[in-house]
Structure 1
Amino acid sequence: MSNDAHIIGIGQTPIAKRGGYDGRPELDLAAEAIRAAAADAGLQVDAIDGLVTYAIDLPGEDTYGAVLLQEVLGLPNLRHGSIVYTSGGGGACGAVALAASAVETGRATNVAVFRSVVQSEQRYGRYNPQRPFYNWTAPYGAFAPPVFYALTMRRHMELYGTTSEQLGHVAVTFRNHANRNPSARFFSQPLSMEDYLASRMIAEPYRLFDCCVESEGAAALIVTTEERARDSASRPVRVLAAEQGAGGGFGSGPIGWNNMPIEIYETGGIGDLADRLFARAGVNRENIDVAQIYDAFTGMVIVALEDYGFCARGEGGHFVEGGRIGLGGALPINTSGGHLSEGYMHGANLVLEAVRQIRGTSTAQVTDAELAFVSSVSGLTPTSALILAS
């Protein structure tokens, strides 16, 4: 990457509860979000000549694609189309990296990155006999993400003394941010530490409010070069660095595709991704003004803070205490409410919130934010991360 790529437009449909868009295909929502992103950029939709998305599971399971979207959007000439295949939500930042590469190398001029989710069309909650590893996990009740991720967090607590209250700080802080965001699923629904601790247990140590809020909707952004970004109707945001990666021996992490080494079991398994990312960006962790960290579960945030070097291994629990991750703190995180309180869009909404922070238009704005960090999923690999700049 040459740091020439800029995000010039963002768009998002309303975030609905699971089943809220029943009857509307993911393709339709994706097109709506892309049109909104083009309008935000002051760009005619037919000027888009690249489409990038990412899958969260096996290849071929998503119900939309570049060919179909080209017809729906009426794009006269598609020069680039690609998809990032990862486990879980590891591709949100990687998709931006692909789009940046496309415009920087001249393969496309305006690339739309998108993610669309309609849960009623998906396979979640359905046993899949084609995955034989479930034969060794399902009999013990381990057949869903909360259970798998609870195991890794339980080990983190045993090793480092991480507490339920520290997990609660993550949930409560993100709810506070969502209470400022009218688009959030939990807007105007406060959450106290007492509420958090009183919520029912899902998979120890994870309670109800440790888990993301399953949602439906779509999000999109437009990537172009610096030269073309000068004509954008909205403030352009530079893609300073974006990387993908996975550490050896991790496989698909807690979902159980292999037995990874116990030494890295409670980590996100990102290998040297963090060091490559910050080296490419030419900045230090201390320079980051705001972060958007993938939070399917509260523990993911604690682990990611350690993985990406914002604190030492085992200190993530202490890092989130004392208001450090809220507005006015050392590192405000998930200022739109994140997956826990805004809505679960597999990371796409986190990238859009990072753009808003750099533009200065967030509902929970960090003063003079110039550098925003975004991470995709922890504990499933390969994953990705990026840094945006003013």
Structure 2
Amino acid sequence: MTLKYAYHSAIAGIGATPFTKDSGRTPMDQAVEACLAACEDAGLPPEKVNGMVTYSAEQNPEIEVARNLGIEELTHFSMVHHGGGAACGVVAVACQAVYSGAADYVLCYRAFNERSWHRFGAGVQDRPAGAEAVEVSFSWSSPFGLVTPASWVAMFATRYMHEYGATTEDFGRVSVVDRAFAATNPYAHFFQRPITLEDHQNSRWIVEPLRLLDCCQETDGAQALLVTTAERAKDLKQTPAVIASAAQGVAEDQHMMRSYYRDNITGIPEMGLCARQLYQSSGLSADDIQTAIIYDHFTPLVLPQLEEFGFCDRGEAKEFIRDGHLERDGRLPINTNGGQLGEAYIHGLNGIAEGVRQIRGTSMNQIDNVENVLATAGTAVPTSALILSQPS
């Protein structure tokens, strides 16, 4: 799905809770706080909101959040599946709602205690066997020890290294860049705690070739975005981040983080599908992007994303990174909030908020002359992506 009418939509408000490792609060409390903050940021009374789009993994139902916000009626509510792959997808669906007139103002939110309560990285080894499709899918990989997200990604990373000559140092350079930006972002968990490539190489193995510092954080917290039409956004408090294009993608023989049965597993074809849609519908190209939020739940999958979006040729992301292009003064500074490795892991929604700040010119690590920001969602799953642009 690509939205050729996305230029008519904008993100008008962003809000978040503190990002912690032990919130001591319920996810519902955090969801409501983030949504209230997004409305306040936009200068919109929360009772004006009449739409909500969430992740299917969200455990804070829109009816409960709406009640706590004082919203009496919702004319649109929907969910997007596939975990972090939904990050840009929820914004895409919100665009559809406001463009079609199904809703005027739509909140997208993600809230959880992913560190102190349910930890996604713990794996699927305790899931009972069953005949339903989701359980059957695990039967192809779990018996061989592939039971955690890190182990699933390790398969792709190993093949990428074999085929293109990438090294663990190349993965580590992504982590070093993220942590450098986090170190100057007071809202990041790793504020004032940069790392070196040596630190990365000395961190313990999780699943070879992934080290501890290749793996994103587990975070307690919440992030919310307020989406409306670009026309309505002009009358609100903040400079709107216009949604130039938003897309979702499922590629051939798609599996949830375990698409091992394709002829080639060194690319991310579902992200390539998103890239083609974004560029075609917006008329933009890689040359028009000044900074990007690249989904970084595991560092190895950052490399093929750079290739799918045309910032470098296939297999050449390692050279692109070695040349410093992801750094503050590089061709494509990425994850200027610190990313999910450095700021927080909120299933990618906090990265989109950073894209909004780059458009507004209010990022803690502001890049000069930003006109267009790329944001991507979870990789190795059905995914999504979007481009945010300056208002005309």
TM-score (norm 2): 0.92
Q: Name the residue aligned to 2:73.
A: 77
RMSD over aligned Cα atoms: 1.5
Q: 1:385: Cα distance to partner?
A: 0.2
Equivalent in 160, 164, 183 of residue 160 of structure 1: 164
Say if 1:10 and 1:37, in contact at 8 Å, map to a contact too: yes
Partner of 1:59: none
Matches within 5 A, 1:242-281: 242-254=246-258, 259-263=260-264, 265-270=265-270, 272-281=273-282
Cross-structure match for 1:111: 106
Contact 1:250 1:269 in 2 (8 A): no
Amino acid at match of 1:385: A
Using the TM superposition, give the Cα deviation of residue 64 of structure 1 relative to its aligned residue in structure 2, in angstroms.
1.5
Whether 1:332 aligns to 2:327 is no
Question: What is the deviation of 1:21?
Answer: 2.1
Deviation at 1:164, TM superposition (A): 1.3
In the alignment, the residues of structure 1 paired with residue 269 and residue 140 of structure 2 have an alpha-carbon distance, to the nearest angstrom, of 22
Q: How does 1:1-390 map to 2 (within 5 A)?
A: 1=3, 2=5, 3-17=7-21, 20-22=22-24, 24-56=25-57, 62-86=58-82, 88-119=83-114, 120-122=116-118, 124=120, 125=122, 127-130=126-129, 131-254=135-258, 259-263=260-264, 265-270=265-270, 272-381=273-382, 383-390=383-390
CA contact (8 A) 2:189 2:343 kept: yes
The Cα shift of 1:272 comes to 2.3
Taking the aligned partners of 1:140 and 1:260, their CA distance within structure 2 comes to: 15
Provide the residue aligned with 2:132 in structure 1: none
User: Partner of 1:221: helix, strand, or coil?
Assistant: strand
C-alpha distance in 1, partners of 2:103/2:140?
46
Q: 1:55 to 1:318 in 2, by over 3 A?
A: farther
CA contact (8 A) 1:269 1:378 kept: no
Unaligned runs of 5+ in 2: 130-134
- C-alpha displacement at 1:53, in angstroms? 1.0
Superposition deviation, residue 105 in structure 1: 1.1
The CA distance in 1 between the partners of 2:290 and 2:113, in whole Å, is: 33
Percentage identity across paired residues of the two chains: 40
User: C-alpha separation between the residues in 1 aligned to 2:217 and 2:257?
Assistant: 22
What is the CA–CA distance in structure 1 between the aligned matches of 2:360 and 2:235, rounded to whole Å? Answer: 16
How far apart are residue 135 of structure 1 and its match? 4.5
Deviation at 1:278, TM superposition (A): 0.9
* TM-superposition CA deviations, 1:286-311 (whole Å, max 9, x none): 11011001100111111211122222
**Post-superposition offset of 1:234:** 1.2
Aligned mates of 1:306, 1:163 — CA distance in 2: 17
Q: Which amino acid aligns with 1:50?
A: G
Residues 213 and 339, structure 1, Cα contact 8 Å, conserved in 2: yes
Cα distance between partner residues in 2 of 1:305 and 1:333: 10
Q: Deviations over 1:118-173 (max 9, x none)?
A: 12443633611142444453444321011110111000000000111111110001
SS at match of 1:29: helix
**Letter paired with 1:21:** S
Structure 1 contact 173–326 (Cα < 8 Å) conserved = yes
Q: 1:95 to 1:133 in 2, by over 3 A?
A: closer
Equivalent-residue separation in structure 1 for 2:346 and 2:324 (angstroms) = 26
Describe the superposition over 1:232-257 as per-residue Cα deviations: whole angstroms up to 9, x where unpaired: 11111101100001111122242x6x
SS in 2 for 1:320: helix
Deviations 1:287-337 (A, max 9, x none): 101100110011111121112222221111111112210111000100000
**Is the 8 Å Cα contact of residues 149 and 257 (structure 2) preserved in structure 1?**
no
Partner secondary structure for residue 169 of structure 2 = helix
| 8 Å Cα contact 1:91/1:384 also seen in 2 | yes
Which amino acid in the other structure matches residue 378 of structure 1? T
Deviation at 1:103, TM superposition (A): 0.8
- Separation of aligned partners in 1, 2:273 and 2:234: 34
User: In structure 2, what is the Cα distance between the partners aligned to 1:11 and 1:346?
Assistant: 15
How many residues end up aligned between the 2 structures?
A: 376
Offset at residue 51 of structure 1 (A): 0.7
**1:184-208 per-position Cα deviation (integer Å, ceiling 9, x unaligned):** 0111112011111111111111111
Deviation per CA, 1:354-388: give whole Å up to 9, x if none: 0000100111110011100000011112x100000
- The question of whether the paired residues in 2 share the 8 Å contact of 1:253 and 1:269 is answered with no
Aligned partners of 2:56, 2:337: CA distance in 1, in Å? 23
Greater Cα shift, 312-321 or 324-333: 312-321
How far apart are 1:176 and its partner, in Å?
0.3
TM-score, structure 1 normalization: 0.93
